[in-house]
Chains A and B, each alone.
Chain A
Amino acid sequence: MKPEPNNHLQALSQAIVQGLVDEAGPLAEKALAAGLPPLQVIEQACVPAIEEVGRLWEAGDYFLPELIAGAEAMKAAMTVLQEALKSSGQSLKSAGRVVIGTVEGDIHDIGKNLVASMLRASGFEVIDLGADVKVERFVETAEREKADIIALSALLTTTMLNQKRVVELLVSLGLKDKFKVMVGGAPVTEKFAREIGADGYGESAVQAVSVARNLLAGRGGNHD
């Protein structure tokens, strides 16, 4: 008995919402095998699913482990679906390209990893530079990779000043308008973000996605 296409979409969507990392990939393959076009699977299963994960987080039902598992399951499904798109000569329009890292002097990367996962799950291309990243490296990488956004994480009040230094470097190189800068991390506030001249601030990994989307709304990426 052949299952209905809708069942495939629903199963995949559920797997992502429930964070079943090992099942999401095979379910995406099954959906393709049933003849569903990859774009339809992405639009009707994956995107609503990750939005539901974000909604459950915002509602306080999901905690960090569920959030990260949802993002990982999304990634597993998207890997399969993007491969299928590519072989059919199509490509998914990137939501934007983000260079992300924890700033110099700070080795805390839990928060940064979460943001990277959520951005990836939401269709952004993410270049993760890791932790303890020098100011110059953010800018060099953003230039080389033609990024749209530079995302800076800091956990310590002592290191959050390095977020400011990245903005200052961009200004001094005349590159401030070329990239949007978003900042986050435990000690960082919206006020601080404004003061240092950052373009966006997200309080949580889920918020970071909408902040990134808003920053790029109405402008084409650097690399369409």
Chain B
Amino acid sequence: MTEEVFRPQVRFLSQQAVEQIIEESFELLEKVGLFIENEEALKLLEDAGQKMDRAKNRVFIERGLVEKCLKTCPPEIRLYDLKGSREYLVGRDEVHFDPGSAAIKILDSITLKEREAGTSDLVTLYKLVETLENLDFQSTALVSADVPKEMADIYRLYLGLLFSRKPFVTGIFRVESLKPMLDLLLAVRGGEKTLAERPLAIFDACPSPPLKWSRLTAQSLIDCSRLGVPSELIPMGLTGATSPVTLAGTLVQQLAESFGGLVICQLTRPGAPVIFGGSPAGFDMRKGTTPMGAPETMMIDCAFAQVAKHLNLPTHAYMGLSDSKLVDAQAGLETAMGATLAALAGINVVSGAGMLNFESTQSLEKLVIDNDICGQALRLVRGIALRERPLALHLFSELGQDFNFLVLAHTRKWYRQEHYFSSVLDRDVYDTWTALGRLDIFQRAGKEISRRLSLYQRPELCLEKSGEIRKIMKSYAASCGLEKLPEVPGLKE
């Protein structure tokens, strides 16, 4: 007998609203078009018979072409870990959390001030994330300030591959980095065929709102699609600033930008894996900032995933992060609301853990706390299972008069599956909590970081491949004017 589980779900749009958004996006693409600043992408679209204004890099994309591309785009993607053995389904209502990516600062555990991150910070972060069981993926979450800016993007992935077993969410800052970054992945997988069959990393590509794909991002789409590396489309409209102020209006623009990305990928190679994601924000009209923890931001994210699911596409969102500058109550509130909604919306890749301050600061303590938040969100969507039939009736005859549930085999059989066990939330009685030093969650998280880091073991494959990927990194570093790579803790030359 299979267990019956009702999956709780959240929806923000009626079916009619979903269709209206899709309809308007099609019209937007046909009438206003997209600005695409990439010669190769323009050529692909021209060859596909699309009308364009070459002088303005403006392309009017026909509905028929988008519909054709939607047919060739895979509804699910499978990512694989470093060894290529563990499989992660990106599609349906599967939810995978990963750290928010490309923070330029780290929140210092001692001074509680943000500072630039260096090689050893990145290594610590990667090791820690390896131990966080509710984060399925790594992301290139921090930018290292101890290497030239020209190699900051590839250097993150390089260090990540030296220490991680989990698949990566990453992306480029410069066109030049794309090839060596893909080379790193090819080196790990051992060839193009294996990399295409067992993708190890997702590449984020952000259109520039409104309605533009830059040279850099369009090239990322093309080169990744060619190799079968999944592209994650990250439109980032800001309501009332770079997209319409209404949430529904922003959804129309976000979908049109995504359709553009989808078309570029599918024209490059029909069947290329694409994830419909985003990092939109409800623009703050007072401060001029882009709050990721605002309810409107989360509503756009969930609704967009609903539209993408209607189109039968894998989904992503930047959720479960906070705009707070410290790991405080605001950080917990915003992160928990985002992670919970994302899980309930069935978003496949949810990027945000660890992140503070408008996607710009990572915190190790917050990563550990967010691991629990994500764990709880995942618990919610595992739902209430009807484990046995009858559900409970038989237990009462076993118990006799005592009603001691703790002794039942039924309890031992199910309690671990029924409950989520947190690692840093406080559930001690008051006296125990006092005896343990009256620690708050930030302090407990600090201790938990040390405990987890002491358990970390470097995957063997990282050791085997380290020579090869180091060679690629070194040669690229040299082209950026860096003769000697920074020392990597725990790595012999």
The answer on a CB contact under 8 Å between B288 and A111 is yes
- A63, A157, A186: the one within 8 Å of B104 (CB): A157
- B149, B241, B286, B360: the one within 8 Å of A110 (CB): B241
The answer on a CB contact under 8 Å between B240 and A65 is yes
A80 interfacial contact with B, CB 8 Å: no
B285 interfacial contact with A, CB 8 Å: yes
When distances are taken between beta carbons in the complex, the residues of chain B under 8 Å from A215 are none
A47 interfacial contact with B, CB 8 Å: no
Give the B interface residue count (CB, 8 A): 12
When distances are taken between beta carbons in the complex, the residues of chain A under 8 Å from B189 are none
Shortest distance between the CB of A110 and any CB in chain B (Å): 5
- B105, B286, B288: the one within 8 Å of A186 (CB): B288
When distances are taken between beta carbons in the complex, the residues of chain A under 8 Å from B411 are none
- B242, B286, B288, B360: the one within 8 Å of A157 (CB): B360
B289 interfacial contact with A, CB 8 Å: yes
A158 interfacial contact with B, CB 8 Å: yes
- The complex places the Cα of A186 from the Cα of B149 at a distance, in Å, of 21
Which residues of B in the span 258-298 have a Cβ within 8 Å of any Cβ on A? 285-286, 288-289
On whether A64 and B286 interact (CB within 8 A), knowing A107-B208, A110-B241, A157-B360, the answer reads yes
When distances are taken between beta carbons in the complex, the residues of chain B under 8 Å from A64 are 240, 285-286, 288
When distances are taken between beta carbons in the complex, the residues of chain B under 8 Å from A63 are 285-286
The answer on a CB contact under 8 Å between B240 and A158 is no
The answer on a CB contact under 8 Å between A158 and B241 is no
Query: Which of B105, B208, B285 lies at the interface centre, i.e. has the most chain A CB atoms within 10 A of its CB?
Result: B285
When distances are taken between beta carbons in the complex, the residues of chain B under 8 Å from A110 are 241-242, 288
- The complex places the Cα of A107 from the Cα of B286 at a distance, in Å, of 21
List 9 additional A-B contacts (Cβ < 8 Å) besides A64-B285, A111-B288, A158-B149.
A63-B285, A63-B286, A110-B241, A110-B242, A110-B288, A114-B288, A157-B104, A157-B360, A186-B289
Residues in chain B within 8 A of chain A (CB atoms): 104-105, 149, 208, 240-242, 285-286, 288-289, 360
Residues in chain A within 8 A of chain B (CB atoms): 60, 63-65, 107, 110-111, 114, 156-158, 186
3 nearest CB pairs, A to B: A63-B285, A64-B285, A63-B286
**23 sample A-B contacts, Cβ–Cβ < 8 Å, listed by A number:** A60-B286, A63-B285, A63-B286, A64-B240, A64-B285, A64-B286, A64-B288, A65-B240, A65-B285, A107-B208, A110-B241, A110-B242, A110-B288, A111-B288, A114-B288, A156-B104, A157-B104, A157-B105, A157-B360, A158-B104, A158-B149, A186-B288, A186-B289
